[in-house]
Each structure stands twice: as C-alpha cells, then as structure tokens.
Chains A and B, each alone.
Chain A
Amino acid sequence: MRILIIEDDALVADGMRRGLSQVGFAVDHVPSAELAEAALQQENFDLLLVDLGLPGVDGFELVRRLRRGGKSMPVLIVTARDALADRVGALDLGADDYLVKPFALPELAARCRALIRRSKSNSDSGISIGALHLDIPRRETRVQSRAVDLTRREWAILECLALHAGQVVSKDRLQQAISSWDEGITTNAVEVYISRLRGKLGDEVGIRTVRGLGYRLDESPA
C-alpha cells in the first residue's frame, strides 16, 4: 500500500513517514502541491495525506485539481486548522476524511487503513480486517486460513460490518441489510445473528457491542 504525504513541515512529515512505514505502508513525501502533482503523474498511490496549509498551491486547491483531473484515490486531510468552514470545505471538495493535528500515530494508521480498505472494497474483491477475510463476489469467509460457513443473513450482517470496519454500525442499519429477505424482522433478530456470528467466527474476530447503538467490527480481537 503506497501513501504519498504532502506536508511542508519536515518534523511532522518525518514523523508520519516513519510511523506509517513501521506499520507496513510504503510512504513517500513531498513538501508542496506542485511536487505532489509531478509525483502523481509518474506513479500511483493508494492514499494521499494532504496538509491544508501548504506554501503556494494550498491543500484545498490540490484536492480540487486532482478530482477535476479524474484522480479518485482516497484523500485524508491532515490539518492544524479546525474551523468549521475548513472541515466542510475539504469534504465538499472531494476529500474523504480529515484528521486534526496533533494526532496519535495509531489513529493516523487506523484512518489510513480504513480509507484504503473502503476504496479497495469498491473495486477489489476482498476485504481483510485483522484475522478475518471476506471474498465478496464468492461470499466466502475465512478466519486466518479456516473457512467459515455462514447463512445468507449472517453474511449480510458481517459484510455490512466489514465494509464499515472500525465504525459503529447501528442495529437499524444491520436490520435493513437483512430485511430484503425477511420482512418484519426485529432488532432482536439482529442480536441473535450477531451472537451466532460470534460463535462461528471465534475469539480472533472482534465484534463489539456498543450499548444502545449497535456493533463495531475491529481489527484486533476483544
């Protein structure tokens, strides 16, 4: 997974580069939007980390140009500004997420993984979350190398959780994911399927309950 960091502060850029390299990403760094555009013409990246306050062409303008130029790779804005207009503006321009400085490295890595996974799940066939692997076209589930046999409803719920791994998915939403087969299904049914999924997937897969809200699939087990 290749990440391009566009950040003019050398200390921050170096920290991000090292931190992300340590968790297995291939990371390149350029200090300006102009150099980023040059780098993007020669090579492909899976994710861009863009600082808003760049010298010359700023982060907003860079994202706008990329999207206009048809580039669709995910963009994570990393900014020290947190005024509301900046947040809305960046997301409206086509950035996928934002992170306000200062941040913790694990948080940055998790956001990067989530963004890359989301972009891959649209085009690619497989999703991996920790020990769990889903082959979406074939509807096959594996934990480590062990194949797990799931019913259609269990699969629908797991797929929904996996596509939003790391995010809380509400019970209502999970209910909608399975209601196409079963009209009049209750949220209690969702609880039943979740407990069956937990039984089948085992302790290596972390499906957490968020009281009153829903569930969250995590990379690390409970």
Chain B
Amino acid sequence: MNRASAQRAHGMTIRRRLLLILIGPLALLLAIGVVLDYAAGIVPLRAAFDQALVNETLAAAAQLRARSGGAVEFDLPPQAIEMLRADKYDTVYYLVLGPHDEYVAGDDGLPTAASGLENPTFLDAQFHGRTIRGVSYRHTTPAGIVTITVAETTNKRDQAWHRMLISILLTDTLQFAAILLLIWVGVRLGLRPLIALRAQIDSRSAQDLAPLDEKHVPGEVRPLTQALNRLFATVSSNAQSQQQFLANAAHQLRTPLAGLQTQLELLRHDTDAVAVRERLIGLLEGTRRLSHTANQLLALARAEPTATAAADFGDVDLRDLAEEAVAKHFDRALRQHIDLGVEATRARARGSAWLLREMLANLVDNALAYTPADGRVTVRCGVTADTAALSYVEVEDDGPGIPPDQRARVTARFYRPPGASGDGCGLGLAIVDEIVRGHHALLDIGSGANDRGTRVRVTFPAA
C-alpha cells in the first residue's frame, strides 16, 4: 500500500472501513454458495431425467421378441414408436442391435455405450451434430444379448439447469445485498454513541475544559474519553495555576513599581537635601528588589521543563558548580559577616550546567538571606556513602531552620514563611524545585548538623 492510499485508509470512517473489509469475503462466499447450490441441485435433476430415459428403454426392451432361430425381432407397434419418440422439447433416438451387433431396428448409427459393469449404461455423445444423452440396456434373450439404446437431445436438461442457475443466482445475490444492508444499518446503529460523542466534542467551545459526559460512551472508547478528561483536568489546573501565578507576579512587579513611582513624584518637589537622600536610598533598594523579582520570574519560566532543550543536558562537574556558586556569593557573605565555604569532593551529574548553576545560586542566596551575621553557610557536593553512590549537592546553614511542618510548603511559588524579611519574592525554592524536577532529581529539605539550621540536598538519579 503506498502512502497516499494508506493515509486515505487511516482517514476513513469506521463504517466505510467495515464495508470495505467485509465486501470481498462476502462476494467470495456468494460465489462459493452459488457453486455449491448448483452442484447440489444438479445431481437429483440429472438423476430424474436419466431415470425417465431408463424407464423408456426398459419399456422398449419389453417389446423384444427373440425367435427360436436366433433372430431377434423388435416388435413395436407404430403408435408405441410414436410414444417413444414423442417429446415436447427433445428429439428421441433409439437403436436395437442384435447379439452380434447387427442392426435390428431404430436409428442406424446411434452411438452405443460400451458394455461396462453397470447395466443400463449411460453415455454422452454427439449424433447428427447434436449433443445427446443416452442409455444402453443389454437385454438377455434366448437368442443372446440384445442392446437397446435410447438417447435424447439435451434441450430439456439445459433449460432446467439454466433455470436452476438463475434462481440460485437471484436468491444468493438478494441475500448478499440484504447482508450488506444489515451491516450498513447495524454499523450505523452501533456507532451512534460515537457519533454522539463527536457531536459533543464538536459543539464545545475551545475554552471549555469541563469533562466529557461518559454516561453513554461505549467501553471501547472509554479509555479515550478518560484520557481526554484527564488532559482537560491537567490543562485546566495548569491554567488555574498560571492565573494564580500571574496574579502573584502582577502583585510582585506592580507593588515595587508603585513605590518607585510615588517616591519619584515626591522627589520632584522635595527640596530638603536629607529627605532627598533618604528617598533616593529607598528608590535604589526598591529598584534592586524589582530587578531581583524580574530575574527570578524569568528564571522560573526558563526552569520549566518545557522550556529546557534536551541539547542543554550534558555531563556536569558538580564540584565546579559548587565552587563557582561560593565564589559568586563571596562578596555578599563578606558584607553580612557570614562564613561562606565549600566542601567538595568529585561528583558528576547529568544535567544542564546553567540550570544547575541557577539552582545553586538560589540555594546559596536563600541560605545567606536566612542566616544571621557570624553564621556559617557551606556548599557541599559528593557521592552518597551507600551502595547506590548517587551524586548530590547540598547547601547547609546554621540559621533558624525551617520548621518541619513548613518544609513541604516552602517550594510553592511566592510562598514566604512567617517572619521572612521583605527582601525576597518567594520564588527561590520554587525555581530550585522546578529545576530538580526537570533533572528527575530528589529535593530533600531538612535540618543541618546537630539539628540546627537548614540543609537542602539535591540527589541526582543514577547515571
């Protein structure tokens, strides 16, 4: 099958498909039925005609008289001969041969069946250019064996067979047509639930994400509608969370913008140098926060698995990333008087270097944000001690820690724990979570050494 016709076959309706599949075998069945019916009908018909012929031959044989001298006499009155020959449709021939195959009476030259096991013996032959069916009967007389042959042309038989064939063809064809019609109607009725389903889908608006009504859906397509309904549910929950995200993002972006705008308007009329300076410091801080939020929102969008190209994935040296993250945040740690350090052993993972860099940056950023002055933040990487030997990176601080009941919630977008400083936008751990999921890694939020502080560990799957 070439591609075009394959495509056509795929796009066909089930009804047409069923009919196309069934019509070939059905036609074959019809042909076989006709042949079988014909064969079954022709045997008794032929036997009946043959029996009539035999009866005539036996009646003729009864008229034979054998003379004592050995001569055979065929003693048939002319009326009887008329009777014998009389037939509405066929010409009847007869021939009587004596014991030495000498002519006695009838149509000279009529073929005679060779003597065989059966008596009478049937023959099919040509006589005077016409097809004949005959029977030869060997009659034992005192003078010897006399052969009587009666034959007739086949008009009657041909006509009967012809009629029989026509009636068989007619009834079988009618049957065939009736079956096709039944299939057509049956399929139509059988497909009614599917057509109703199609109508239900057709009439929906593109935005309608309500589940499809599965009440009248047949079992065969139920998995399909269930899959569709699951998809609708996912899309609708995604749409909801996106709405939620947009609402939060709008708040996060507009609030600092509103602050900046009002401060700038006030600044325009402010003449007091000290007040101007204070406002400027506030403006700078607001702008910094706004930049941070914009960056985090973009990072979150990029971290979503759908935004990451598989080509970005490769073999990543976690030690390099850990050291890089520490070097990058070292100035901030210095300012906050936090001892930021690294404890790295060789570890590699499969992933996107820039996403993992972003993830570590957020983890270190968080640790620095929640650790008081003179605290300690350590970035570690290595391989787990158990037999699985999985690569991990973790960031540990000795800050106040996250209460166990809040650990599951901190990865929610825009979530900010009670008592959080006004600095962050609540996206850091959401970004981390997104990246961790994109890498099929495991995020574990727990306590640091001696149950103090927070330790966030990301364990990568086996390579």
Contact = CB atoms under 8 A, between A and B. Distances in A.
B334 A208 contact: yes
A80 to B, nearest CB: 10
Interface in A167-220: 167-168, 170, 208, 210-213, 216
A70 interface: no
Given A102-B291, A104-B288, A170-B323, A213 B312 contact: no
A82 interface: yes
B327 A210 contact: yes
Interface stretch (B211-219, B339-347, B398-406): B339-347
A82 B344 CA distance: 28
B58 to A, nearest CB: 109
Given A82-B298, A84-B312, A212 B342 contact: yes
Nearest to A103: B291
A211 B334 CA distance: 12
B330 A216 contact: yes
B358 to A, nearest CB: 10
Given A84-B312, A84-B354, A211 B288 contact: no
B326 interface: yes
Interface in B280-305: 287-288, 291, 294, 298
Nearest to B327: A168
Which of B288, B327, B339 has the most C-beta atoms of chain A within 10 angstroms of its own C-beta? B327
Interface of B is mostly: helix
Given A82-B298, A102-B291, A213 B342 contact: yes
Given A82-B298, A84-B312, A84-B354, A211 B340 contact: yes
Contacts of B354: 84
A213 B298 contact: no
A99 to B, nearest CB: 13
Contacts of A208: 330, 334
* Most chain B CB within a 10 A radius of its CB, from A102, A167, A168, A210: A210
Contacts of B340: 210-211
B337 to A, nearest CB: 11
Interface residues of A, number: 13
Interface string A88-123: 000000000000001010000000000000000000
A205 B378 CA distance: 26
A212 B288 CA distance: 30
Contact of B344 (A210, A212, A216): A212
Contacts of A84: 312, 354
B330 A212 contact: no
Contact of B330 (A82, A102, A170, A210): A210
A211 B339 contact: yes
B298 A168 contact: no
Given A84-B312, A104-B288, A211 B323 contact: no
Nearest to A170: B323
B334 A213 contact: no
B297 to A, nearest CB: 13
A82 B358 CA distance: 12
A213 B377 CA distance: 14
Contacts of A213: 323, 326-327, 341-342
A212 B291 contact: no
Contacts of A210: 326-327, 330, 340-342
Contacts of B291: 102
A102 B291 CA distance: 6
Contacts of B287: 102
Contacts of A211: 339-342, 378
Contacts of B342: 210-213
B463 to A, nearest CB: 22
Contacts of B294: 102
Contacts of B330: 168, 208, 210, 216
Contacts of B378: 211-212
B341 A167 contact: no
A12 B176 CA distance: 85
B299 to A, nearest CB: 9
A211 B330 CA distance: 10
Given A84-B312, A212-B343, A167 B326 contact: no
A105 to B, nearest CB: 10
Nearest to B328: A168
Contacts of A168: 323, 326-327, 330
Contacts of B298: 82
Interface in B312-351: 312, 323, 326-327, 330, 334, 339-344
Contact of A167 (B312, B327, B334): B327
A170 B340 CA distance: 15
Q: Which 6 A-B pairs have the closest CB atoms?
A: A211-B341, A212-B342, A168-B327, A102-B291, A212-B341, A213-B342
11 contacts: A84-B354, A168-B323, A168-B326, A168-B327, A210-B330, A210-B342, A211-B341, A211-B378, A212-B326, A213-B323, A213-B326
Given A168-B326, A211-B342, A213-B342, 18 more contacts: A82-B298, A84-B354, A102-B291, A102-B294, A210-B326, A210-B327, A210-B341, A211-B339, A211-B378, A212-B326, A212-B342, A212-B344, A212-B378, A213-B326, A213-B327, A213-B341, A216-B327, A216-B330
